[in-house]
Amino acid sequence: GPGNDPGPIVEVAPPSGGQGALEFLWMKSTQSGPFNPNTWMPIPNSNSPNYDPGPIFQTTYYARCVRR
C-alpha cells in the first residue's frame, strides 16, 4: 500500500564487456510500457549498482542504466 518501503533493489549479476570504470544511473517512472523520456526521470545521486528507493506512495517502475 501507499508509503510501503519495498527494500533495496540489488544487483544480481554485474555488467560485463568493455573497459574502464562503471557509471550507473537509476531512473524511475509511474507509467509502465516502453521507455518514454517524458515519463522516465533520472534519480539524482544514484551512481551505484544497487538502489534503495525508500517508501513509495504509488506504483513505480525502476530501471538501471550502466556505461563505461
Query: In sequence order, what are the beta bridge partners of 9?
Result: 51
pLDDT at 36: 95
pLDDT at 2: 78
Judged against a pLDDT cut of 70, whether residue 1 lies above it is answered with: no
pLDDT at 44: 98
Q: What is the pLDDT of residues 21-63, one digit of tens each?
A: 999 999 999 999 899 999 999 999 999 999 999 999 999 999 9
Q: How confident is the model at residue 11 (pLDDT cuts 50, 70, 90)?
A: very high
